[in-house]
Structure 1
């Protein structure tokens, strides 16, 4: 069996019909690529009968995935470990709510000629960004159910150094505290979007990072946005190309807005390769299919 040079690792937890549509589009645009779905263990199993004809496979995550903690990061690393890509192979992580904006043949040629081991978002050195990076020098603890409501948050805010952090999606809040013994100084911490592309050399660097580094990050808030960026950008043997792969529109939410037909011109003009996020029945997906099928 020939090992694919390009693999798309798709994370999913709901809307299986939307996932199958994305997998079918990836396969049509890249007939020889590997397509693997990392599916949240707590969700209903996927249908092998829908994925096998597309030469795609799915793996359940090692543990249920919860937003904002270390479970998502650990699931991605587990998938990397199973893929075990060689130095010339590329793995691109997508979510089930993403969709290509441009032909994947162009994207894969871009990866092959990038001269890099990783394409990661580069965030600006602004006061707001440094405040976000500070999350990776803090420890995050999910509060027990009995303490999630009532006066607990008010009491926590009275303790110097502690932060009460509300969570979206009905998740229990977390309590954050500073960590003095940490593997990186704040100035060496990096952060960015956790949907990126890495080659086998970069994957190996992530999988062989010192255990204390991984232990530190999985207990910080939203570690998937900090671990890979910090490890790779501090590794002198890894070439990182600053590049954001996805077009997204953000308002005041912790998640990107749903994109529609009116957003497609801007998305395609952005130069990005993928866009997120779309609803399952968005007419924007039909329009993208039309555009991607054009000669």
Structure 2
């Protein structure tokens, strides 16, 4: 399973609000043995972080665009850097620069160290049979990944009369879910060594929103099979027909207090500058970890 004695790594994908990112990194550093690894988009606002032994910048960071493979490549590049430079890590978590912890980092460390799972990922299987669907999103993603092709150089996708020739065959399943992962070290190492990655990356280059399937499909197709909890450990709220999560405000505090999630998203200090202080107090009120 996912138990291990090395450091917990929290990968931060960021591109804006450098002050907010710096505060997030400072909170992540509050663990007993946690390292913040920041992949900062070089086309975004410049980021300066205080030198620290438990903070690192991915050196070959490149621009990433929502809905493009470049966002997946940022995840993959960061995981490769972690595996090569922090070889004794125990877990790798991915957050954005607009996420924020709602529990003490020490509590997250302790829960993952004792976890019976290899990964925490919100996920759905997308089979060839629509009758097996349990959520309308499965139908949306079936069309997205099998019956559409993104036009090169654009965000536009066009429907295809017949399904694309795809890698989801011969025992390889299509899975979709959140891009925000929590992966044990054995799971990460197994994924990085799996030749399926190159097949999926090549296929998803012309798929819309590839970040919603790549990590899920890699983790759920692992051989031998991994024990994956169907939970991203993120507090996220969506409005009706919204394309982006609701911003976290003081109105969410009661729900946040009852949540066992690790991080809340999406936090915007420009719109709601009081929220990080509220979340810090929320985490402190939960008391020390015994």
CA change 1:53–1:60 in 2 (3 A) is closer
Any conservation in 2 of the 1:27–1:54 contact (CA below 8 Å)? no
Any conservation in 2 of the 1:41–1:65 contact (CA below 8 Å)? no
Between the aligned partners of 1:78 and 1:255, the Cα distance in structure 2 is 25
Larger Rg: 1
Residue 79 of structure 1 and its aligned partner are, at CA, apart by 0.8
Between the aligned partners of 1:4 and 1:140, the Cα distance in structure 2 is 42
Equivalent position to 1:293, from 273, 284, 288? 284
Q: What is the aligned partner in structure 1 of residue 130 from structure 2?
A: none
Q: What is the aligned partner in structure 2 of residue 11 from structure 1?
A: 13
Between the aligned partners of 2:219 and 2:242, the Cα distance in structure 1 is 28
- The answer to whether 1:229 aligns with 2:213 is no
RMSD value over aligned CA atoms? Answer: 2.5
Equivalent position to 1:191, from 159, 176, 182? 176
Between the aligned partners of 2:187 and 2:50, the Cα distance in structure 1 is 28
Q: What is the aligned partner in structure 1 of residue 56 from structure 2?
A: 57
- The answer to whether 1:112 aligns with 2:95 is no
Equivalent position to 1:26, from 22, 25, 28? 28
Equivalent position to 2:237, from 249, 256, 268? 249
Between the aligned partners of 2:103 and 2:183, the Cα distance in structure 1 is 19
1:203-252, CA deviations, whole angstroms, 9 ceiling, x for partnerless residues? 12322332222211233221111112112212242221222211111112
4+ residue stretches of structure 1 with deviation over 6 A?
A: none
Q: What is the aligned partner in structure 2 of residue 155 from structure 1?
A: none
Between the aligned partners of 2:153 and 2:35, the Cα distance in structure 1 is 41
Between the aligned partners of 2:199 and 2:257, the Cα distance in structure 1 is 41
CA change 1:289–1:105 in 2 (3 A) is same
Residue 66 of structure 1 and its aligned partner are, at CA, apart by 0.7
How many residue pairs get aligned? The number is 264
Segments of structure 2 that go 5 or more residues without pairing to the other structure are 126-132
Any conservation in 2 of the 1:182–1:216 contact (CA below 8 Å)? yes
Residue 115 of structure 1 and its aligned partner are, at CA, apart by 2.0
Any conservation in 2 of the 1:70–1:218 contact (CA below 8 Å)? yes
Between the aligned partners of 1:207 and 1:220, the Cα distance in structure 2 is 21
Q: What is the aligned partner in structure 2 of residue 132 from structure 1?
A: 140
Taking structure 2 as the reference length, what is the TM-score of the superposition?
A: 0.82
